[in-house]
Amino acid sequence: MDELLQESKNITNINCNINRSVGQVKLNGIDINSIVTAFSGLGEKTNLLVKHNMYSTLAKDIVSSSFNKLASTGADIIGFSQYLLSDEKPASEEVEKELALELKKYNCSSMSVKIEQSGDNSAFCGLALGVNSIQKEEIVSGDIIIGLASDGLHFNGYEKVSALYKGGFLSDEEYKDTLKPALNYYYDVIDLYKKNKIKLGVNITKGGIYTCLNKVLPKGLKADLNLKHIPPQPIFEKLKDLTGDEFYNIFNGGIGFCLIAERACDEIFFKECQKYNPIILGVIE
């Protein structure tokens, strides 16, 4: 870290708009390629989890949300900061305890904790800091897109879910199913980057699969997807019936993370990513 500070004068380029909430500062003269920050919030899901005292899920989700964004860049995590605004003091204390346990799994230190009381809604934000030494390969037409399964909604579409539940379109059990913690793909994606097995990782967040993929592809290329290949999940089948054409613009649809790689590498993912039920989701055109 001292070396980073000493070489800060060698910053050559700042990109603060990678996938909207991931920033990267490129460096010269030291071994790493860039410093990366990944900022994330849980939106309406924060209120729902606090309301139901699901503090462990809240901690897992803020770490997963930030780390998955960091994983998309191939960066090694070196620190994490969080900000919690809550109208309940016990919630703040429980979340801080659960967050410490979650970060310990990733040998990650908490650089700062900011907790404030609020008489209104709750909000939870995290900022992951990493360093990146990976030189990414060029994405070209013909590369394949591998989809890794989500375990439900993860972070998006909760305003819609709340409205559907209040309107009586979702049962109590279905509503509870939407609040499961998100999967954290960090270690597995970073491992694939370091083995030079993938060209790019794409975290599926706001806007759905098409939006998240197309906004990170080089100009002139697009993702040609076959969403029928996604294994069905009961909660998504219900939401698809209720939202129609909006569905894939609101929810992840059952895919939480995508990998872009050469077609010759497809067998690797079915071996190394078995726990995420990988599928060939499409190709780059």
**CATH for 32:** 3.30.1330.10
Rg (CA), the chain: 19
- Cβ neighbours, 10 Å, residue 95: 26
Q: Which of 76, 111, 132 finishes a domain?
A: 132
pLDDT tens for residues 59-85?
Answer: 899 999 999 999 999 999 988 888 777
d(CA 159, CA 146): 29
Q: Which of 132, 164, 183 finishes a domain?
A: 132
- Regarding whether 126 and 167 lie in a shared domain, the answer is no
pLDDT at 7 over 60: no
- Regarding whether 67 and 157 lie in a shared domain, the answer is no
pLDDT at 27 over 60: no
Q: What is the pLDDT of residue 19?
A: 45
pLDDT tens for residues 82-96?
Answer: 877 766 665 677 888
Residues of the domain holding 70: 2-132
The model's pTM is: 0.84
- Cβ neighbours, 10 Å, residue 5: 8
Those residues with Cβ within 8 angstroms of residue 205's Cβ, 6 or more apart along the chain or in another chain = 19, 65, 69, 154, 155, 156, 212, 252
Residue 137 lies in a domain: no
Q: Which residue has the higher pLDDT, 269 or 243?
A: 243
pLDDT tens for residues 135-186?
Answer: 778 999 999 999 999 999 998 899 999 999 999 999 999 999 999 999 999 9
Q: What is the mean pLDDT of the chain?
A: 82
Residue 12 lies in a domain: yes
- Cβ neighbours, 10 Å, residue 14: 12
Q: What is the pLDDT of residue 86?
A: 65
pLDDT at 5 over 50: no
Q: Which residue has the higher pLDDT, 28 or 128?
A: 128
Residue 139 lies in a domain: no
- Regarding whether 149 and 277 lie in a shared domain, the answer is yes
Please state at what angle helix 158-166 crosses helix 234-243, rounded to 10 degrees. 80
Band (pLDDT 50/70/90 cuts) for residue 15 is: very low
**Number of domains into which the chain is organized:** 2
Q: What is the pLDDT of residue 155?
A: 86
- Regarding whether 9 and 32 lie in a shared domain, the answer is yes
| Kind of pairing between the strands at 200-203 and 144-149 | unpaired
208-to-46, 165, 204, 246, 258 alpha-carbon distances in Å: 20, 21, 6, 10, 12
The pair phi, psi for residue 176, each rounded to 5°, is -60, -35
pLDDT at 239 over 90: yes
